[in-house]
Structure 1
Amino acid sequence: MLNARYIPLLCVFLCMPIGLALSSEYKLWGGVILAISLLGSVVGVHDITQKRRAVLKNYPVVARFRYLFERFRPEIRQYLLESDHDEVPYSREQRTLVYRRAKDIEGLRPFGTLKNLQQIGHEWMNHSISPTQIDDGQFRIKVGGSNCSLPYDCSVLNISGMSYGALSPNAIEALNRGAKQGRFAHTTGEGAISKSHQLHGGDLIWQIGSGYFGCRDSAGNFDPQQFKTTAAFDQVKMIELKLSQGAKPGHGGILLAAKVTQSIAETRGVPMGEDCISPAKHSEFDTPIELLEFVGKLRELSGGKPVGIKLCVGHPWEFFAIAKAMQDTGILPDFITVDGSEGGTGAAPVEFADHMGAPLREGLMLVHNSLVGLNIRDEIKIIVSGKLISAFDIARVFALGADACNMARGFMFALGCLQAQACHTGHCPTGVATQDPGRYRALDVEHKYKRVANFHRNTLEALKESVAASGLIHPTQFTPHHLMIRVTSRQVRSAASQYHWLEPGELLSEGTKHPAFAKFWAKSCSSTFSILDQQKTSNVVRFQSNG
């Protein structure tokens, strides 16, 4: 007896004589049926005889639809099934906000909010009965401490690090030209400074990773002279030493030899035909003190430009060790970029993207409290990154201690990114994240740079309105008291009471009630990243709630 699983294949076989019979009188339809049945028969025979996929062998022809639907599932979900608030990772509402601001389209909403304001976790900013009048919404801050001779007047919103190699040359060029137009900074990513970065002269934050691309010798070690030469470029305004990134902290990276183009090889200072490797750790330092000495060395070689570090917070005692090294050496970074684990990347292992590193909120508060507790907060600016899109996202991180923020995927959306999530394939449909000339030529720099500048300008305009409504004149005036959080269906708290905050100089005296500091501060040391108590220590710390 014929198994029902093979009935579709039998039907395909039977269609061949039917198509052949019809073709004599109805050539078009008969030919179509015959062609489809012949193709289906070939596919069916292949499915039965192949050995790789059991489902195809058991369900010839029909199982092909399973793979077809699986292939287009993300697109079907995104365009047909996704609600405005589903975040995968950015919701349609968030993407639309960027698209409208980038296109300079009015972003007003009719009929009221679409959010459930009673939902636990909902957040808002308290407004003032007496709002202020702000004439200039181009909010800026000065980055550069007492050891910095060339401080930088920095916008509070800048482009986060995305390397040439991860992004196409046209995307890099459009981002930098937009930054030039809007008077904000463009972080290079660890892939060095390419020709596309330099064409339009937009301000650069030169990011240096563990591969030392753009300032390395033939063995891959840091080359002081190369660094000094590049750091002297007028376009380079700050230097960012990358320790880790939120999407894959402690992982490192590799650009396969097949993807290393001649242009990438020249930009990074690596040979053609070899894998381009970013190690998981730096070779120039092994201890917190050596890290800060390297920061001081970079600042001296750069001629006194601001030098900072970028990290995703991991073990609390490791950052405490860095903070103690600042205290012991007197060498302070001019800024610290805190990258949340919700940050993006071209490709990361699932376990790292989902479960490694501290989210932005927890990381930011740990760094902010450390600097406040040592009375050095005013010397060091905190820049944050990690899934920020709207003016409220910016206001929220300012309330929690940030001085400025970086966006990566927000500016990618401004370039036309569709969130196809094909960044690692080289087949980006919009030419943003690919090195295929046939694809990135479709990204018109002359058109897209204006959208980059528009998104920046309109986002700061929205931030200006929020600042004014709160009765302030600059976003750095936001405090934890301004941010309100619904913690239960019946209870609301400000961030000031919901989270633990250190008093200025609290760590300089004995004892603190902050749980993370009480547990790990005494066990950290400026001479090592290791915890002093060698016994297995649980790192389950309540960063957030007072209980």
Structure 2
Amino acid sequence: MRWTRLAAGAAAALGAVAAYDVTQTRHAILRNFPVAGHLRFVLEKVGPELRQYIVTSNDEERPFSRDQRRWVYASSKGENQYFGFGTDNDVENAEGWTVIKHRTFAGPGAATARHAEEGEPLPMAKVLGAARGRRLAHRPASVVNISGMSFGSLSANAVTALNEGAKRAGCLQNTGEGALSPYHRQGGDLVFQIGTAYFGCRDEAGRFDLARLRDLVASAPVRAIEIKLSQGAKPGLGGMLPAAKVTPEIAEIRGIPVGVDCASPSRHTAFGDVDSMLDFVELVAAETGLPVGIKSAVGDLTFWDDLVSRMEGLRGSGGRGVDFVNVDGGEGGTGAAPLVFSDSVAYPFRLGFSQVYRRFAQAGLTDDVVFIGGGKLGLTENAVVGFALGLDGVQVGREAMLALGCIQAQRCHTDECPTGVATQSAWLQRGLEPQTKAARVAAYVVALRRDLLKVSEAIGVTHPALIGPDDIDLAEGVRSSASLREVYGYEPGWGELGPALREELLSTGG
């Protein structure tokens, strides 16, 4: 009798826990896997002790180490982001170890006291579209913005949370190539991405339709247009949305068949070379009034040589040119790609971007173009290196997914994402409550901007755009080090704002 009562009590307790789990909104894992989901948090709690003896270290996992994920999780939840007892990285033997060189004395206008506000704004140093007089040119309010992740690849709840989070953080959300869905319309400002399949701006035959583009961007808070040439995780391949994710809703938004693999072409049909691409850029800019730029991974450098050559020849004449360049590193993420493309196609960000920037710098065009980067740049150290090499802003993709609750399960291509981020399963995405996760996305973006300000302050400048290639060294263990300028062959003035932009930034307080 006593055992029966105990069993009944245990069943009732488990039932109460399960009822709480499926109704709470804080943890997607618990909403989708009541009771059993608590095991993950128990293992996470005792993980450091277990890993000391039998599993991996805090810095061995890829693509994001446990320390990196912990920092994003803590930032998004407003928890303690500090780490105790010093670094656990193998500084003595690491190759290419990033060393940020703090200054003893601050430069002009640099803060010397603690920042008054955690949410201090951090706009870009350049005005997007100003160099070519775009009618709707504007200064992005944040140097950290959300990268292109399509509805379809991500769930409706995830896209909703990202857009609401962008609104709260005052940053931009890139739609990704999968068109502008209802879930992008939560009030956050957008960058509309035109991919090779022209989703959202295509006719019945799949060709680019300018009228549809014009109507679409007029119906939403689109602040810029990005022409996607390629992305870091699958350059030269085109996007892939597996059949399992192509629901009737997605098929209607994209204009494709239901339940069939959606493979975007590897290249554009609206243009076929740099010359016709620039014609396309100017056509879109003239029709919409918006700044227009390109997103690309870096492979064959002759494309960049040709682009810079054509822009250089028309400099100062109001001629053709892109308003921004978004360089995606080969280490970038994706929902689905063949292994060889993820591992071996395209340069990693630092090498690829430095090659692209070099060409614009040699032509004297760096102040006329806004440089954006992606590929694990949502981690402060990587972002700082990007700014030192000449970036004006960073885009965060997988880091924003981690803020949503992603646990790096690496099931994005299966439609079985356990946290409801990268799936179209109604059951799994139910666990992702948009309002709760929107707050986390916003908190993460604000935290990254705050850390960028803190590092800028340590270097003695007022804004990350003022960090230069001499402010960062890459160390080879404890044997030697070289500045970014030496490593990437930057000439004096490269990686830095021109005098007029620098003076403008300093005059506005950084």
Question: Which residue matches 2:450?
Answer: 461
Q: Which letter maps to 2:338?
A: P
Which whole-Å deviations, capped at 9, do the CAs of 1:319-344 have from their partners, x for residues lacking one?
11121222345311110000000000
Contact 2:153 2:245 in 1 (8 A): no
Please report how far the alpha carbon of residue 381 of structure 1 lies from its aligned counterpart in structure 2 after TM superposition: 0.5
Please give the secondary structure, in 1, of the residue aligned with 2:412: coil
Q: Following superposition of structure 1 onto structure 2, how do residues 133-532 of structure 1 map, counting pairs within 5 Å?
A: 133=111, 137-141=120-124, 142-147=127-132, 148-154=134-140, 155-198=142-185, 200-272=186-258, 274-302=260-288, 304-328=289-313, 330-487=319-476, 489-502=478-491
Q: Which letter maps to 1:124?
A: V
Please give the secondary structure, in 2, of the residue aligned with 1:81: coil
Distance, in Å, in 1 between the alignment partners of 2:240 and 2:143 is 32
* 1:101 correspondence with 2:75: yes
Please report how far the alpha carbon of residue 486 of structure 1 lies from its aligned counterpart in structure 2 after TM superposition: 1.1
Which whole-Å deviations, capped at 9, do the CAs of 1:416-457 have from their partners, x for residues lacking one?
000000001111000000001011011011211110011111
Please give the secondary structure, in 1, of the residue aligned with 2:139: strand
Distance, in Å, in 1 between the alignment partners of 2:245 and 2:435 is 27
Distance, in Å, in 1 between the alignment partners of 2:295 and 2:273 is 16
Distance, in Å, in 1 between the alignment partners of 2:240 and 2:442 is 32
Distance 1:317 1:144, change over 3 A: same
Which whole-Å deviations, capped at 9, do the CAs of 1:505-534 have from their partners, x for residues lacking one?
9xxxxxxxxxxxxxxxxxxxxxxxxxxxxx
Distance 1:394 1:491, change over 3 A: same
Please report how far the alpha carbon of residue 491 of structure 1 lies from its aligned counterpart in structure 2 after TM superposition: 1.6
Contact 2:91 2:97 in 1 (8 A): yes
Distance, in Å, in 2 between the alignment partners of 1:255 and 1:383 is 25
Question: Which residue matches 1:81?
Answer: 55
Q: Which letter maps to 2:187?
A: G
Please report how far the alpha carbon of residue 260 of structure 1 lies from its aligned counterpart in structure 2 after TM superposition: 1.9
Distance 1:217 1:481, change over 3 A: same
Please report how far the alpha carbon of residue 257 of structure 1 lies from its aligned counterpart in structure 2 after TM superposition: 4.6
Q: Which has the larger radius of gyration?
A: 1
Distance 1:243 1:402, change over 3 A: same
Please report how far the alpha carbon of residue 89 of structure 1 lies from its aligned counterpart in structure 2 after TM superposition: 1.1
Distance, in Å, in 2 between the alignment partners of 1:213 and 1:138 is 33
Greater Cα shift, 132-141 or 460-469: 132-141
Question: Which residue matches 1:53?
Answer: none
Please report how far the alpha carbon of residue 488 of structure 1 lies from its aligned counterpart in structure 2 after TM superposition: 6.0
Greater Cα shift, 258-267 or 242-251: 258-267
Contact 1:145 1:380 in 2 (8 A): no
Contact 1:338 1:360 in 2 (8 A): yes
Question: Which residue matches 1:48?
Answer: none
Distance, in Å, in 1 between the alignment partners of 2:308 and 2:130 is 16
Distance, in Å, in 1 between the alignment partners of 2:263 and 2:96 is 41
Distance, in Å, in 2 between the alignment partners of 1:492 and 1:504 is 21
Q: Following superposition of structure 1 onto structure 2, how do residues 49-64 of structure 1 map, counting pairs within 5 Å?
A: none
Distance 1:460 1:273, change over 3 A: closer
Please report how far the alpha carbon of residue 368 of structure 1 lies from its aligned counterpart in structure 2 after TM superposition: 1.0
Over the aligned positions, Cα root-mean-square deviation in angstroms equals 2.0
Distance, in Å, in 2 between the alignment partners of 1:274 and 1:428 is 20
Contact 2:91 2:478 in 1 (8 A): no
Distance 1:224 1:85, change over 3 A: same
Distance, in Å, in 2 between the alignment partners of 1:275 and 1:497 is 46
Question: Which residue matches 2:103?
Answer: 128
Distance, in Å, in 1 between the alignment partners of 2:59 and 2:240 is 34
> When the two structures are superposed, what TM-score results if normalisation uses the length of structure 2?
0.81
Distance, in Å, in 1 between the alignment partners of 2:181 and 2:220 is 15
Q: Which letter maps to 2:100?
A: M
Please report how far the alpha carbon of residue 82 of structure 1 lies from its aligned counterpart in structure 2 after TM superposition: 2.1
> When the two structures are superposed, what TM-score results if normalisation uses the length of structure 1?
0.75
Distance 1:258 1:348, change over 3 A: closer
Q: Which letter maps to 1:229?
A: D
Distance, in Å, in 2 between the alignment partners of 1:146 and 1:113 is 44
Q: Which letter maps to 2:101?
A: N
Runs of 4+ in structure 1 deviating by more than 4 angstroms, as ranges, are 76-80, 502-505
Query: Quick one: which of 66, 73, 78 aligns to 1:92?
Result: 66
Please report how far the alpha carbon of residue 135 of structure 1 lies from its aligned counterpart in structure 2 after TM superposition: 5.8
Contact 1:373 1:503 in 2 (8 A): no
Distance, in Å, in 2 between the alignment partners of 1:413 and 1:256 is 22
Distance, in Å, in 2 between the alignment partners of 1:192 and 1:461 is 32
Contact 1:247 1:344 in 2 (8 A): yes
Distance, in Å, in 1 between the alignment partners of 2:64 and 2:258 is 36
Q: Which letter maps to 1:118?
A: E
Distance, in Å, in 1 between the alignment partners of 2:300 and 2:401 is 31
Q: Number of matched residues?
A: 428
Distance, in Å, in 1 between the alignment partners of 2:458 and 2:322 is 34
